[in-house]
Amino acid sequence: MLRLYNTLGRKIEVFHPVNKKVATVFTCGPSVYQRAHIGNFRTFLFEDVLVRYLEYSGHSVVRGMNFTDLEDKAIRASEQKRLTLHQLTEKNIRQFLAEMRLLRMRIPQHLPKASESVPESVEIIEKLMGSGIAYRHKGNVYFDPLKFSGFGKLYGLDMSLWPSRKRRFHKDTYPGVQWNLGDFILWHGCRPGERYYWDTSIGKGRPSWNIQDPAMISRYFDETLSLYCGGVDNLYRHHDYTLAILESVRPYPMARYWLHCSHLYVDGRKMSKSKGNILYTGDLIKRGHDWPVIRFLLIYMHYRKRMNYSDEYVRMASDKLLDLRKTIRQIERAAKRRPSGSSPKKAKEVPDMLKRIFVKHMDDDLNVKDAFDALCRTAKDIRSDELTAAEASDILESLKAIDEVLRVIF
């Protein structure tokens, strides 16, 4: 049975979808004020493998992923580039979707945008204000975490550290990975000269980043989600904010399982503009890697472990993929002819053996690395010259089914 590390509770749990008919998955999508880099794509690819493996395991899956196209950073970036907010974000969305397809990623069924979910944001804010959890201050609306029982439970926040003096944080996002111990903003009241605002029942303004994900989730999912995923950075503030907002207006948990992907470093250092070490998929293409290889480089390491992208890592991972592909080419040739004599009985067991070892490791919290390495060892032991065409074809069918999850072999 599939076992996943649930951030909520910090333990491995057997996966049981909330709805037996369909596993609902929502994943934090990109902030499209800029182009997504390979660290972002590592998280999105882990989520793609998760969805594909759920389907391989027999689950029907409905997935949503949001586009954050309405926030402080996007507005500033559009002004710097002398573009409208729509021009900037739509360009980045188109590029992101194109790269998803090139990386053989499945496009989620629901792709809501923050800018198209303002009515849902307003509706949630009205409910929060009506219950006294949110309040208006100088034109803005803030959420009081002390009014939500269990605030910070996802991260494991020590609420004894909460200051006694009232503090408010009015920006959409703050740099770094630290907690803002105070009330967080839900609604930016319209200021003089504001270019982007909506005239609503709670006044003129725009929703903050903190309210946007709950609004976009509520647009498509009205029950507890089976899975909610994102990058580990979201454990600071963002996901606990989202959880507290939704669970304040819904009488049930937001999600049963929470999964978080760890960081990607480059040559031992976290990617940043100041260090000049941000890498995009285009940079990897220029270095001679094709799209399936890029996908493999980003999914091979376990999603909860920090990945260090380096020349040594690229050589190691690329060689593994190349070796398996060479073995498969030999099996493909065997599928086109019948050798003399009869093949060993063991050859007939190989397709099921491949499936068993793949499932064994993938059921262990999506351990792609161990699953792939085990596949390589098993495939290497296959004597392709002793296979009948039918046996070779059966082995290929088993590998192709596995590759519907990995999408790197064929």
Compute CA distances 134 → 241, 245, 374, whole Å.
13, 10, 52
Q: For residue 131, give the DSSP letter.
A: T
Q: Which residues are CB-contacts of 93 (< 8 A; sequence separation ≥ 6)?
A: 32, 67, 69, 113
Place of tokens 């040559």: 267
Looking at residue 340, what is its pLDDT? 52
Q: Using an 8 Å Cβ cutoff, are 100 and 110 in contact?
A: no
Q: Which residues are CB-contacts of 48 (< 8 A; sequence separation ≥ 6)?
A: 105, 106
What's 337-404 look like in SS3? CCCCCCCCHHHHHHHHHHHHHHHHHHCECCCHHHHHHHHHHHHHCCCHHHCCHHHHHHHHHHHHHHHH
Whole-number Å distance between alpha carbons of 390 and 394:
6
3-state secondary structure of 151: coil
Question: Among residues 344, 361, 339, 354, which one has the least CA distance to residue 396?
Answer: 354
The amino acid occupying position 234 is: N
Q: Which residues are CB-contacts of 120 (< 8 A; sequence separation ≥ 6)?
A: 215, 216, 218, 219
Q: Using an 8 Å Cβ cutoff, are 348 and 327 in contact?
A: no
Q: Using an 8 Å Cβ cutoff, are 120 and 215 in contact?
A: yes
Task: Identify the structural domains of the chain with CATH numbers, from first to last.
Answer: 3-261 (3.40.50.620), 311-406 (1.20.120)
Provide the token pair at 282: 């285009």
pLDDT per position in the chain (410 positions), as tens? 999 999 999 999 999 999 999 999 999 999 999 999 999 999 999 999 999 999 999 999 999 999 999 999 999 999 999 999 999 999 999 999 999 999 999 999 999 999 999 999 999 999 999 999 999 999 999 999 999 999 999 999 999 999 999 999 999 999 888 999 999 999 999 999 999 999 999 999 999 999 999 999 999 999 999 999 999 999 999 999 999 999 999 999 999 999 999 999 999 999 887 788 999 999 999 999 999 999 999 999 999 999 999 999 999 999 999 999 999 999 999 999 755 555 555 678 999 999 999 999 999 999 999 999 999 999 999 998 889 999 999 999 999 999 999 999 99
Looking at residue 274, what is its pLDDT? 78
pTM above 0.85, yes or no: yes
Question: Among residues 267, 283, 264, 238, which one has the least CA distance to residue 40?
Answer: 264
Strands (E), 247-344: 255-261, 264-266, 269-270, 307-309
Looking at residue 345, what is its pLDDT? 55
Q: Tell me how far apart the terminal alpha carbons of the chain are, to the nearest angstrom.
A: 27
Residue 188: phi, psi to the nearest 5? Answer: -90, 110
Q: For residue 66, give the DSSP letter.
A: -
Place of tokens 């803002």: 180
Partners of 66 in beta bridges = none
The amino acid occupying position 373 is: D
Place of tokens 């099921």: 352
Q: Using an 8 Å Cβ cutoff, are 245 and 128 in contact?
A: yes
Looking at residue 273, what is its pLDDT? 79
Beta sheet of 225-231, edge-to-edge order: 61-65, 23-27, 225-231, 255-261
Q: Which residues are CB-contacts of 265 (< 8 A; sequence separation ≥ 6)?
A: 271, 306, 307, 308, 309
DSSP secondary structure letters along 224-252: -EEEEEEEGGGGTTHHHHHHHHHHHHSSS
Pairing of strands 61-65, 23-27: parallel
Looking at residue 207, what is its pLDDT? 98
